[in-house]
Structure 1
Amino acid sequence: MDKIYNNRWFLLLFISITWGSSFILIKKSLLVFTPYEIGAIRVLGSGLILAAIGIPALLKMGKNNLLWVIIAGFFGNFLPMFLFPIAQTQVSSSLAGILDSLVPIFILAFGFLLFGIKSKITQVIGAIIGFIGAASLIFFSEGNSENSQFGYAMLIILGGASYAVNSLIVKEKLPQLNAVKLTAAVYSFWAIPSGIILYFTGMIQNFEMQPTYIEPMIYMSFLTIFGTAIAMLLYFKLIQKTSAVFASISSYLLPVVAIIWGILDGEEFTFWYIIGGALISIGIYLIREKKALTVTTTKH
Structure 2
Amino acid sequence: MNPLAALWLCWVITAFSPIIGKYAMPVAHPVLVVFSGSILAVIYFAPAMTKKKLWGKLFDKKTLGLYLVMGTFGTALPFSIMLFALNYTTPANAAILNQTEIIYSLILTSILLKERPSLGQLGGSFLVILGVAAILLNEHFTPRWKGDLIIIGSVWLFQISHIAAKKLPEGLDYTLISAARSFWALPATIILILFMWPTGTLYFKPGFQAAAVIGATGIFKYGIAMLLWYTAIRNLDLSKVTAIILSYPALSFILSVLLGFEKPQTYQIIGLVLTFAGAYWVTHVVKKQNAKKENLESIEETI
Alignment TM-score, normalising by the size of structure 1: 0.81
Tell me, yes or no, if the aligned pair for 1:179 and 1:233 is still in contact at 8 Å. Answer: yes
Separation in 1 of the partners of 2:143 and 2:129? 23
| SS, match of residue 224 in structure 1 | helix
Tell me, yes or no, if the aligned pair for 2:72 and 2:184 is still in contact at 8 Å. Answer: no
1:232 to 211, 221, 226: 226
| Structure 2 unaligned spans of 5+ | 294-303
Structure 2 match to 1:163:
158
Structure 1 match to 2:298:
none
Q: Which moved more, 1:118-127 or 1:91-100?
A: 118-127
Separation in 1 of the partners of 2:150 and 2:19? 17
Q: Which moved more, 1:277-286 or 1:241-250?
A: 241-250
| SS, match of residue 155 in structure 1 | helix
1:114 to 108, 112, 115: 112
Mapped pair 1:215 → 2:213: no
Structure 1 match to 2:299:
none
Structure 2 match to 1:249:
243
| Structure 1 unaligned spans of 5+ | none
Structure 1 match to 2:18:
23
Tell me, yes or no, if the aligned pair for 1:168 and 1:244 is still in contact at 8 Å. Answer: no
Q: 1:163 to 1:206 in 2, by over 3 A?
A: closer
Structure 1 match to 2:92:
94
Separation in 2 of the partners of 1:74 and 1:257? 28
Identity between Structure 1 and Structure 2 (%): 19
Separation in 1 of the partners of 2:27 and 2:224? 24
Separation in 2 of the partners of 1:243 and 1:104? 19
Separation in 1 of the partners of 2:237 and 2:61? 24
Separation in 1 of the partners of 2:269 and 2:205? 43
Q: Which moved more, 1:169-178 or 1:10-19?
A: 169-178
Alignment TM-score, normalising by the size of structure 2: 0.80
* RMSD (CA atoms): 3.0
Q: Which moved more, 1:238-247 or 1:33-42?
A: 238-247
Separation in 2 of the partners of 1:22 and 1:42? 12
Tell me, yes or no, if the aligned pair for 1:95 and 1:273 is still in contact at 8 Å. Answer: yes
Q: Which moved more, 1:28-37 or 1:255-264?
A: 28-37
Structure 2 match to 1:292:
286
Tell me, yes or no, if the aligned pair for 1:41 and 1:194 is still in contact at 8 Å. Answer: no
Structure 2 match to 1:75:
73
Tell me, yes or no, if the aligned pair for 1:252 and 1:281 is still in contact at 8 Å. Answer: yes
Query: What do the CA deviations read for 1:15-56 (whole angstroms, capped 9, x no partner)?
Result: 221111011111111121122222222223223433563642
Separation in 1 of the partners of 2:236 and 2:114? 19
| SS, match of residue 148 in structure 1 | helix
Once the two structures are TM-superposed, the CA of residue 261 in structure 1 deviates from its matched residue by: 1.1
2:270 to 244, 258, 275: 275
Q: 1:62 to 1:103 in 2, by over 3 A?
A: same
Q: 1:201 to 1:32 in 2, by over 3 A?
A: farther
Once the two structures are TM-superposed, the CA of residue 296 in structure 1 deviates from its matched residue by: 4.9
